[in-house]
C-alpha cells in the first residue's frame, strides 16, 4: 500500500435567559448607549464542549480587546448568551429574539448547520454576524454581513495537502457524519485530491447514531489506501472504537484533524500512527496574545483547547467593529481587510469574501492514555493554506 500521509476538522452575561430590554429596542442607541452583543452558541447538546471553549475564549478576548474596561470608546459592552442546543430552529429563534431587543452584533454558531441558517438573518436585518467554530465553507462569502472567527474546512484540507505524498492513483475514503461539517469535508477532499489524481469515496453516518459498527464495516470493505476521518462531537470515542474493532487503524493509513483534549486518550497505541492536522491546541502558538489568552482562561478556571481561540478572535472582531460606530456598513468596512495580531499570530480578514487567513498546524500525538499529548511538527504559514476566493 502506498503511504499517503494526509490529515483532515449580562443586562451583561446571562445564559439562555430572557433578553435584556424591551422588544423593539433600536439597535445603536447613541454615543452613550451600550454596545449590545448576542452570543448564540451550543451551551448544551452534542457540541456543548466546543461551545464552552468558545465562551471562555470570548470572555478572555473581550477583556483583552477592551484593556479590561469592557467598554468601547466609553460605551459599555453588554453580552447576552443564548443556548441553541445544537438545533438550527432554536438558533434562528434566539437570533431573532436578540435582534428584536437591539442586539446588532451576533456571534457564536458552534455548528455548521446552524451558521448557514443564521447568516441570512444578518443580511435581512442589517446587523453583523460573526460565526464561531462552525467550519463550513458555505459561510465564507455568503453575504457582506457575515464574518467568521475560526478556520474553514478548506483550510483543513489545504493543510493536509502540505504534508502528503503524491496522491495520484490512491483510493481515498472520507468517513464523516451526515451533516454540513461532514459534507463539507467530503466536498473539499474530493476537490483537492481528485485534482491530484486520487479517487475519493465517502461513508457518512447519522450524527446522532450510537451504533457505528455498520459504518466502520463499510469503511473496512472499501479497502482504501487512505481513510480520511472528519468527525465532531460526543460520538468520537465510539467512532474510533468501531474503526479499531474493524482493524482499520492497523491495516490502513488513517488521517484526521486533532480534536479536543478529552479525545487524546481514545487513540491508544494507534495515536502515534495517525497523521494529524490541527486548527489549534494548547501550546500550538507561542505568541504574546496566546499567552495572555491562556493566563486569562486559566485564571477563570478554564482550560485552553481547540476552539478557545475562536472565541478570543471573535471578541477582538466585535470590539474592532464596534469602534467604527453603530452603522453596520462602517463596521463591515472596519473588518474587511483588517490585519491584526491574534492568538495564532498575524491574522487577516480577506476583504473579498471574509475568509479568515491564518496559519495552521501539523502535529503528532505522543504517549498513551492520560499521558497522550500533541507535539508540534510544523506551523503551516497562512499563505500556504489560503482558500480560493468564494464566488
pLDDT of residue 160: 78
pLDDT of residue 267: 73
**Distance (Å, whole) CA 45 – CA 84:** 8
Residue 290 CA to chain centroid, in angstroms?
Answer: 17
Stretch 85-112: mean pLDDT: 97
CB neighbours of residue 281 within 10 Å: 24
- Pick from 236, 203, 239, 241: which is nearest to 222 by CA? 203
Among 172-186, 265-279, 304-318, 373-387, name the one with the lowest average pLDDT: 265-279
The pair phi, psi for residue 146, each rounded to 5°, is -110, 135
**Distance (Å, whole) CA 172 – CA 174:** 7
pLDDT of residue 270: 67
Q: How confident is the model at residue 268 (pLDDT cuts 50, 70, 90)?
A: low
pTM value is: 0.84
pLDDT of residue 10: 35
The answer to whether residue 3 scores a pLDDT higher than 70 is no
pLDDT of residue 138: 94
Q: How confident is the model at residue 236 (pLDDT cuts 50, 70, 90)?
A: confident
**Largest alpha-carbon pair distance within the chain?**
66
Which grid coordinates belong to 180? 454540513
Q: CA neighbours within 13 Å on the CB side: how many for 22?
A: 0
**Exposed e or buried b for every residue in 52-79, given b needs 16+ CB within 10 A?**
bbbbbbbbbbbbbbbeeebebeebebbb
Residue 91 CA to chain centroid, in angstroms?
Answer: 17
Stretch 262-282: mean pLDDT: 84
With a CB cutoff of 8 Å and minimum separation 6, the contacts of 265 are 368, 369, 370, 372
pLDDT of residue 234: 77
Strand partners of residue 201: 173
Which grid coordinates belong to 289? 496574545
Among 49-53, 138-142, 187-191, 315-319, name the one with the lowest average pLDDT: 187-191
Stretch 131-159: mean pLDDT: 94
**Distance (Å, whole) CA 268 – CA 252:** 16
pLDDT of residue 30: 62
Q: How confident is the model at residue 4 (pLDDT cuts 50, 70, 90)?
A: very low
Amino acid at each position: 500500500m502506498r503511504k499517503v500521509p494526509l490529515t483532515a476538522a449580562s443586562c451583561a452575561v446571562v445564559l439562555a435567559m430572557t433578553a435584556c430590554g424591551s422588544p423593539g429596542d433600536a439597535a445603536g442607541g447613541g454615543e452613550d448607549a451600550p454596545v449590545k452583543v448576542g452570543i448564540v452558541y451550543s451551551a448544551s447538546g452534542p457540541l456543548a464542549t466546543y461551545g464552552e471553549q468558545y465562551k471562555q475564549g470570548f470572555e478572555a478576548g473581550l477583556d483583552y480587546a477592551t484593556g479590561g474596561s469592557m467598554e468601547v470608546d466609553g460605551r459599555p459592552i453588554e453580552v447576552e448568551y443564548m443556548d441553541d442546543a445544537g438545533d438550527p430552529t432554536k438558533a434562528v429563534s434566539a437570533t431573532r429574539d436578540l435582534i428584536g431587543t437591539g442586539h446588532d452584533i451576533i456571534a457564536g454558531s458552534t455548528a455548521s448547520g446552524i451558521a448557514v441558517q443564521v447568516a441570512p438573518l444578518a443580511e435581512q436585518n442589517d446587523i453583523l454576524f460573526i460565526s464561531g467554530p462552525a467550519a463550513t465553507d458555505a459561510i465564507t462569502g455568503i453575504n457582506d454581513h457575515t464574518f467568521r472567527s475560526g478556520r474553514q474546512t478548506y483550510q483543513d484540507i489545504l493543510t493536509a495537502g502540505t504534508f502528503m505524498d503524491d496522491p495520484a492513483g490512491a483510493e481515498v475514503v472520507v468517513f464523516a457524519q451526515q451533516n454540513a461539517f461532514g459534507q463539507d469535508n467530503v466536498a473539499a477532499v474530493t476537490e483537492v485530491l481528485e485534482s491530484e489524481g486520487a479517487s475519493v469515496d465517502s461513508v457518512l453516518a447519522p450524527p446522532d447514531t450510537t451504533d457505528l459498527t455498520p459504518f466502520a464495516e463499510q469503511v473496512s470493505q472499501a479497502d482504501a489506501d487512505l481513510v480520511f476521518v472528519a468527525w465532531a462531537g460526543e460520538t468520537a470515542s465510539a467512532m474510533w472504537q468501531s474503526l479499531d474493532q474493524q482493524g482499520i487503524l492497523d491495516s490502513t493509513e488513517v488521517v484526521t484533524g486533532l480534536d479536543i483534549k478529552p479525545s487524546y486518550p481514545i487513540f491508544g497505541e494507534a495515536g502515534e500512527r495517525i497523521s494529524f492536522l490541527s486548527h489549534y491546541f494548547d501550546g500550538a502558538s507561542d505568541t504574546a496574545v496566546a499567552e495572555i489568552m491562556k493566563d486569562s482562561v486559566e485564571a477563570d478556571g478554564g482550560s485552553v483547547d481547540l476552539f478557545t481561540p475562536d472565541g478570543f478572535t471573535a471578541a477582538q472582531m466585535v470590539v474592532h467593529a464596534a469602534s467604527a460606530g453603530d452603522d453596520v456598513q462602517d463596521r463591515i468596512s472596519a473588518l474587511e481587510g483588517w490585519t491584526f495580531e491574534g492568538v495564532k499570530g498575524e491574522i487577516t480578514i480577506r476583504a473579498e469574501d471574509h475568509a479568515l487567513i491564518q496559519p495552521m498546524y501539523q502535529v503528532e500525538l505522543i504517549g498513551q492514555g492520560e499521558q497522550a499529548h500533541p507535539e508540534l511538527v510544523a506551523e503551516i504559514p497562512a499563505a500556504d493554506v489560503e482558500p480560493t476566493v468564494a464566488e
